[in-house]
Amino acid sequence: MLGLSLSANSQSKIDKTLERYNSNSVDYISVENLIQLKASHPNVKLLDAREPSEFSISHIQNAIYAGYDDFELENIKNKISTQDTIVVYCSIGVRSENIGEELQEAGYEHVYNLYGGIFEWFNKNNAIYDQKGQSTEKIHAYSRFWSKYLKRGEKVY
């Protein structure tokens, strides 16, 4: 199973935040399940649903910039088939759910929201890359409020 169910017994701060802001309309995928999925299906498409300033600081390797405020479905249609498996991420998983919903409404069938977003990815010691394709410890923390979910790296605002 790719999805992730949130347990009421041992809720973390991020669980509570995602429950507050999200409707669970897009199934979550954990960092661990994404790594397994990418190993068995190398053509999984990663969509970064953050702003250009965030993406330019760092992103997950081979992610396609989708944006949030400037998201254009037509730009995605040229890069991804409705049959592809897509994992959308943002900082922690709030904005990416909105983009995932738009993809589902457009007929994309295999869409997942990365639980905890790039923050969780990076917190679990997975590499992120800058504009030049070099591994980096810099990560856009979005805001001081949201940066509390980022446990490592050099926070950039």
pLDDT tens readout for residues 57-109: 999 999 999 999 999 999 999 899 999 999 999 999 999 999 999 999 999 99
Largest pairwise CA distance in the chain: 43
The Cα 128–Cα 109 span in angstroms is 27
pLDDT at 12: 79
Range of the domain at 28: 13-156
Number of domains into which the chain is organized: 1
Residue 61 lies in a domain: yes
For residue 78, count CB atoms less than 10 angstroms from its CB and return exposed for 0-12, middle for 13-18, buried for 19 or more: exposed
Q: Which residue has the tokens 């991804």?
A: 80
CB 139 within 8 A of CB 150: yes
- Those residues whose C-beta lies under 8 Å from the C-beta of residue 121, and which sit 6 or more positions away, are 31, 34, 60, 89, 114, 128
Write down the pTM of the prediction.
0.91
pLDDT at 42: 85
Residue 7 lies in a domain: no
Q: What is the CATH number of the domain that holds 132?
A: 3.40.250.10
Residue 48 lies in a domain: yes
Q: Which residue has the higher pLDDT, 112 or 12?
A: 112
Residue 90 lies in a domain: yes
Tell me the backbone φ, ψ of residue 11, rounded to 5 degrees. -75, 130
Whether residue 21 has pLDDT greater than 50: yes
Residue 150 lies in a domain: yes
Whether residue 6 has pLDDT greater than 70: no
Residue 133 lies in a domain: yes
Whether residue 5 has pLDDT greater than 60: no
The pLDDT confidence band at residue 13, using thresholds 50, 70 and 90, is confident
pLDDT tens readout for residues 110-151: 999 999 999 999 999 999 999 999 999 999 999 999 999 999
Whether residue 10 has pLDDT greater than 80: no
CA 20 to chain centre: 18
What's the helix, strand, coil split of the chain in %, to 5?
Answer: 35, 20, 50
Residue 145 lies in a domain: yes
Residue 3 lies in a domain: no
